[in-house]
């Protein structure tokens, strides 16, 4: 049994998903290598650079089921790269020496980079599905709770009333930006690589550019303007997007985790019997999904750091930075898939206690509406005097544990311009939500 979390029989589905692991599995990766080699043979045959029967034979044998993985592993450990060992096996299983035309004019990094891009294309499709589902759920929550008052908190303290729908809409705005970013990076990232040993396609002479263009068309990938063997910014852009996605999900998780605290009790992860249970404290309901989201986001950010390091490549082919991508990017994708799965589970069954939200607004005896009182008194007293008077009332309310409205009503300067009933109306939370509901509506209408 593996103790590595992403492959562990126990932990792997807490840190990733089967679908994403399959995209980055050994067998799937080798199949992508073979897909690129077979596509290269086909386009070269069409351009009369290799025999047609060689392309047919290579394509027919380009199946991972035909590969001896134990032998490939052993040879890769000697060579240091997997493509030569793979091509050796293709040559051996093709009839009449036709396999010798496999990998014609290519270099190892051409095949590996292009296979990576094919994997990234499949992986981004999975990410998009989850992001879309999360966005729709957040939109539904924003609409449902657009007018549900709760305490807005700054520096972990009560600030002003907001609505839970407003909070969900803020979460949603970030997710929607990530969805837009995903679409925006595809033209830059889904670009194949075929450039030969030093990136100049010298091995194919005057046919190099034609083969390059035909291969990208065959694989349905965009064509780079120039070789990117040692220009790795686009792959780092992918890991950067994954880092931002998981960080935004972690922000949601952080908020939910804080709102789940016993002293707050406004929002809860979905109840599943036994989930979040303590081995010794039967009353516990720990924020398990939130905890995993925070941990996964940290791990993805670390992998993004490795991808940034890989940009710093020497000359026309890197002596080490490239290898960091081999583990950093696949793991970042698997961890991101795990985070998205936790986020979907969290939000799909999120429990919202609007009564607790309203109750918690009142825990400070109305002090959360101090700004409302100040702004209402400012026209009569002047803004600065209103601030100072209300500030004094806040201190008295806290010190004497008196209701804020009573302290305000008992202050002679305030009583001269506003009675208690008027003050109570001024500091009613439902009357000081500002544009929160309208902002929710604006965001949702723009999405439609």
What is the pairing mode between strands 157-163 and 351-352?
A: unpaired
> E strand or H helix at 356, and its extent?
helix 354-361
Does residue 304 have an active-site annotation? no
Residues 353-381: pLDDT tens digits?
Answer: 999 999 999 999 999 999 999 999 999 99
Domains within the chain, CATH numbers bracketed? 10-106+204-224 (1.10.275.10), 120-193+228-360+436-448 (1.20.200.10), 367-426 (1.10.40.30)
Query: Interior CA angle at 143 toward 367 and 437, to 5°?
Result: 40
Marked catalytic residue, from 2, 103, 155, 411: 155
How large a percentage of the chain has pLDDT more than 90?
91
Q: Give the pLDDT confidence of 315-335 residue by residue, as tens digits.
A: 998 888 889 999 999 999 999
Which of 186, 215, 42, 200 minimizes the C-alpha distance to 114? Answer: 215
- Tell me the pLDDT tens digit for each residue of 98-151: 999 999 999 999 999 999 999 999 999 999 999 999 999 999 999 999 999 999
How do beta strands 149-154 and 157-163 pair? antiparallel
Q: Which residue has the tokens 């303007």?
A: 225
- Backbone φ and ψ for 386, nearest 5 degrees, come out as -60, -40
278 noted as active-site residue: yes
pTM of the model: 0.93
Condensed to tens digits (0 to 9), the pLDDT of residues 398-412 reads 999 999 999 999 999
**How would residue 69 be classed by pLDDT, with cut points 50, 70 and 90?**
very high
The stretch 74-93 carries a mean pLDDT of 96
pLDDT at residue 1, rounded to an integer: 45
435-447 residue pLDDT tens: 999 999 999 999 8
* Active-site option among 2, 278, 323, 327: 278
- Rounding to the nearest 10 degrees, give the CA dihedral for residues 435, 438, 443, 446: -130
Tell me: pLDDT of 274 over 80: no
If we measure between CA atoms, which residue out of 363, 356, 372, 360 comes closest to residue 397? 363
pLDDT bin (cut points 50, 70, 90) of residue 284 is low
- Tell me the average pLDDT of the chain: 94
pLDDT value for 13: 83
Q: Rounded to the nearest 5 degrees, what angle is found at the Cα of 125, between the Cα atoms of 123 and 127?
A: 70
Q: Which residue has the tokens 């190892």?
A: 108
Contact 301, 243 (CB under 8 A): yes
Higher-confidence residue: 141 or 279?
Answer: 141
Q: pLDDT band at 282, cuts 50/70/90?
A: low
């Amino acid at each position: 049994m593996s103790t590595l979390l992403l492959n562990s029989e126990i932990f792997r589905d807490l840190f990733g998903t089967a679908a994403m692991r399959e995209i980055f599995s050994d067998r799937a990766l080798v199949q992508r290598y073979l897909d690129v080699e077979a596509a290269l043979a086909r386009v070269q045959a069409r351009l009369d650079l290799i025999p047609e029967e060689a392309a047919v034979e290579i394509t027919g044998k380009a199946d991972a089921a035909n590969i001896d993985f134990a032998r490939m592993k052993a040879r890769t450990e000697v060579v240091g790269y997997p493509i030569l060992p793979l091509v050796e096996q293709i040559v051996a299983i093709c009839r009449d020496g036709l396999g010798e035309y496999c990998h014609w004019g290519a270099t190892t990094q051409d095949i590996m980079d292009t296979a990576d891009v094919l994997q990234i294309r499949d992986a981004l499709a999975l990410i998009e599905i989850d992001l879309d589902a999360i966005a729709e759920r957040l939109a539904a929550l924003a609409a449902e709770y657009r007018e549900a008052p709760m305490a807005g908190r700054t520096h972990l303290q009560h600030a002003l009333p907001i609505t839970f729908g407003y909070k969900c809409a803020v979460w949603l705005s970030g997710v929607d930006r990530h969805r837009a970013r995903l679409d925006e990076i595809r033209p830059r990232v889904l670009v194949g690589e075929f450039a030969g040993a030093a990136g100049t396609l010298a091995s194919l002479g005057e046919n190099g550019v034609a083969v390059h263009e035909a291969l990208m068309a065959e694989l349905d990938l965009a064509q780079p303007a120039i070789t990117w063997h040692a220009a790795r910014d686009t792959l780092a852009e992918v890991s950067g997007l994954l880092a931002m996605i998981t960080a935004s999900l972690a922000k949601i998780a952080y908020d939910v985790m804080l709102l789940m605290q016993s002293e707050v009790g406004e929002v809860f992860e979905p109840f599943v019997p036994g989930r979040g249970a303590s081995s010794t404290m039967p009353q516990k309901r720990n924020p398990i999904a939130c905890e995993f989201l925070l941990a996964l986001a940290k791990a993805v950010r670390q992998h993004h750091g490795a991808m940034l390091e890989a940009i710093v490549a020497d000359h026309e082919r890197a002596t080490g930075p490239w290898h960091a991508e081999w583990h950093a990017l696949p793991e970042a994708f698997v961890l991101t898939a795990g985070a998205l799965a936790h986020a979907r589970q969290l939000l799909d069954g999120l429990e919202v206690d609007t009564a607790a939200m309203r109750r918690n607004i009142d825990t400070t005896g109305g002090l959360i509406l101090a700004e409302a009182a100040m702004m209402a008194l400012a026209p009569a007293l002047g803004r600065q005097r209103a601030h100072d008077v209300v500030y004094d009332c806040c201190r008295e309310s806290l010190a004497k544990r008196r209701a804020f409205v009573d302290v305000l009503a008992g202050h002679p300067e305030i009583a001269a311009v506003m009675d208690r009933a008027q003050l109570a109306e001024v500091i009613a939370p439902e009357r000081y939500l500002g544009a929160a509901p309208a902002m929710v509506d604006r965001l949702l209408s723009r999405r439609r």
